[in-house]
Every structure is written in structure tokens, then in C-alpha cells.
């Protein structure tokens, strides 16, 4: 497949003479579409958006964006071979992100082989690259949550998704030839607008909102760990708008290449998240607990907290939204109205 014009509703070949571009893969997805919207708000619309655009439930994430063209995911590497001189930067956010998928061959194809092809092309054509890694690489946190390259080979992810991300991180760090600048971003628990299509994989805030709207209460997972009370499982929740800010910073500043954590550096409880969601509704909390599903129970992270010193030392000095601020913005400005960013 090739280049699509969804506004016209048919397949066409777009003009080949274009100005320097920013490529965003995964642009119909959650984080990718927010990053595209972030650039649009900065007056940047010379964007090449890459994804599988066949899923109707994701159309609202990109049809409202300003862009030069849409490239089918399977055609992108060939497109880059032909158009590399016109590309300023590649932001590779496209991946299979389902942590409940256990067919590793799917991750090998979409998260490893495809990412290697993009990394190799960016190296060949001297194009800077940012790609999505994940805090799922840290497993149970046996070696902490530092983005120090020395621990990457020792990490023990809990599921095939985390394993695939760590395998690619290891591969990237081993390459003798690399893009002129590259960064692998270890996303912690990202939440915010444009995740309507994610189903079970959407953030807990998204599910809490819908539970409150439908039943007036929130059900959280019960703790199956003796050191954690029900609802007091801790995660580093980071608002997707802050993720876009960090990507913009790295593109502009191009500090040392390598892996960077992307969280807030402050773990918060799921109970706090639920309370904040009720507050955004103007309601008193009604929270109960259910057993964690058996298929993910032994692969469940009870604590994550990003060590953020590398990014801060690189010069990023903007404050991240705290959980209450992020939830309020997400609920009031997006979930209640169903708007995208």
C-alpha cells in the first residue's frame, strides 16, 4: 500500500517535491497522535504520519491533524529510502503495546525487526531518531529504575512486550554505527487524550472515568502482594502532553545519545488516581476492589518510579504535571467531551 488522502477518500500519489519533514510513526495511535498535535500547535504541519490507517476507531486521532501525507506502515522503509534527503527527524512511536499478548513472534516483527530497519535506515541516511522503549523493560525492578546503560543486559522483563523492548534497546546499544543522534525513551505509565481506541490497554484513568460515568464507582485491582495494601500499588504516571514536551526538547537539543527514562520521578498510588478522577467529576470517591486477572497476576508491577537525573542533567528543566493536575485536564477537557488533542 502507499500514500493515502483520507480527506478525499481515495488512494493517490502525492507530489514528491517536499520540504524537510518530521516523520512520526504510530501517528494514529495514542502518543504518536498527541505528538503530531503538539507540533501542529507550534505551527509545524510538514509532518509525515506513518501507521496502519485501516482501523476506523483510530481515525479521529489523525483526521483532525495538519500533515503533508500519510504513509502506510509497511511502505515506510521503502518510502524513506526514496525520500531520505527530505527528512529532518524520525520519531518512531509505532509498536505493538499489548502487555497481555504472549505470541512473541508478533513482537519480533513489529517491535524488533521493524525498529531495526528504521534505525539502520536512519544510520545510513544520517537522520536523527527518537524511538519508544518502555519501563516494562525493568521487570520487577530488581536492578532499580535507572536508565544507566550498564544494567540493560541484566534486566528481566515480565512479559513478551517488555522483553521485545529490552531486546531492541540492547541491539541499539551494541551498534558500531548509529544515527547522528538517537534516544530510546523508556515510557512509564503514560496517560491522556487520544487513547479511546486502546480498549483493555488504555490507562486506568480512562477506565476509572468510564466506571464513574456508568456506575458511579471505581473498581481497582486488589493487591496480591503482602507488602502492598489494596489500591496502594505504585506507578509513575506521566501525562502525555509532558511526553511531547520531552520529545521536542530532545529534538532541539540533541544531548548525548542513548536511553532516557520518561516518567515524573514520583510514584503514586492507584487509589490516589481514582480519588483524583472522582474529584474531576466533583464527586465523593466510591472505590472497591476486585482480584487482579490471573493471566497478568504474576507479571504485575507493584512499584515503578523513574530515575530522571539523566534527562535533567541533559538540560530538561520543565516541571511535569502532577497526577491531580493531569487527571483534571484529561477529564475536563477531553474525556467529558470526547475530544482528541
CA distance 197 to 240: 16
Residues, the chain, total? 341
All three cell numbers of 90, joined, read 524520525
H/E stretch holding 62 reads: helix 59-62
Give me the active site residues, please.
161, 198
The beta-carbon contacts of 245-249 under 8 Å, at least 24 apart in sequence, are: 245/38, 245/318, 246/185, 246/311, 246/316, 247/35, 247/38, 247/91, 247/130, 247/185, 248/38, 248/39, 248/42, 249/315, 249/316, 249/318
CA distance 156 to 143: 9
CA distance 112 to 169: 9
CA distance 193 to 106: 26
CA distance 309 to 331: 30
**Around Cβ 294, how many Cβ atoms within 10 Å?**
7
Rg (CA), the chain: 20
Residue with cell 507540533: 39
3-state secondary structure of 182: strand
Q: Do 23 and 87 meet the contact criterion of CB atoms below 8 Å apart?
A: yes
Amino acid at each position: 500500500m502507499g500514500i493515502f488522502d483520507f480527506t478525499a477518500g481515495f488512494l493517490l500519489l502525492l507530489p514528491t517535491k517536499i520540504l524537510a519533514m518530521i516523520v512520526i510513526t504510530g501517528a494514529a495511535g495514542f502518543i504518536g497522535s498527541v505528538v503530531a498535535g503538539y507540533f501542529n500547535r507550534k505551527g509545524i504541519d510538514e509532518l509525515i504520519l506513518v501507521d496502519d490507517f485501516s482501523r476506523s476507531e483510530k481515525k479521529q486521532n489523525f483526521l483532525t491533524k495538519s500533515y503533508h501525507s500519510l504513509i502506510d506502515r509497511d511502505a515506510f522503509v521503502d518510502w524513506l529510502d526514496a525520500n531520505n534527503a527530505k527528512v529532518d527527524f524520525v520519531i518512531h512511536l509505532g509498536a505493538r503495546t499489548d502487555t497481555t499478548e504472549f505470541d512473541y513472534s508478533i513482537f519480533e516483527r513489529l517491535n524488533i525487526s521493524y525498529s531495526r530497519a528504521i534505525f539502520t535506515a536512519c544510520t545510513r541516511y544520517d537522520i536523527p531518531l527518537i524511538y519508544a522503549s518502555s519501563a516494562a523493560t525493568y521487570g520487577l525492578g530488581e536492578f532499580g529504575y535507572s536508565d544507566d546503560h550498564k544494567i540493560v543486559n541484566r534486566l528481566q522483563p515480565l512479559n513478551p512486550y517488555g522483553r521485545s523492548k529490552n531486546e531492541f534497546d540492547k541491539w541499539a546499544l551494541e551498534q558500531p554505527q548509529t544515527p547522528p543522534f538517537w534516544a530510546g525513551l523508556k515510557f512509564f505509565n503514560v496517560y491522556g487524550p487520544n487513547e479511546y481506541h486502546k480498549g483493555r490497554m488504555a490507562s486506568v484513568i480512562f477506565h476509572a472515568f468510564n466506571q464513574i460515568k456508568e456506575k458511579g464507582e471505581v473498581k481497582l485491582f486488589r493487591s496480591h502482594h503482602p507488602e502492598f495494601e489494596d489500591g496502594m500499588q505504585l506507578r509513575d504516571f506521566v501525562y502525555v502532553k509532558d511526553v511531547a514536551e520531552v520529545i521536542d526538547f530532545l529534538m532541539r537539543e540533541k544531548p548525548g545519545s542513548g536511553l532516557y527514562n520518561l516518567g515524573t520521578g514520583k510514584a503514586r498510588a492507584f487509589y490516589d488516581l481514582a480519588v483524583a478522577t472522582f474529584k474531576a467529576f466533583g464527586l465523593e470517591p466510591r472505590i472497591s476492589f476486585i482480584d487482579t486477572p490471573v493471566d497478568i497476576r504474576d507479571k504485575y508491577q507493584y512499584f515503578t518510579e523513574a530515575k530522571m537525573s539523566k534527562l535533567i542533567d541533559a538540560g530538561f528543566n520543565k516541571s511535569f504535571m502532577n497526577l491531580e493536575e493531569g487527571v483534571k485536564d484529561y477529564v475536563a477537557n477531553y474525556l467529558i467531551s470526547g475530544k482528541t488533542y
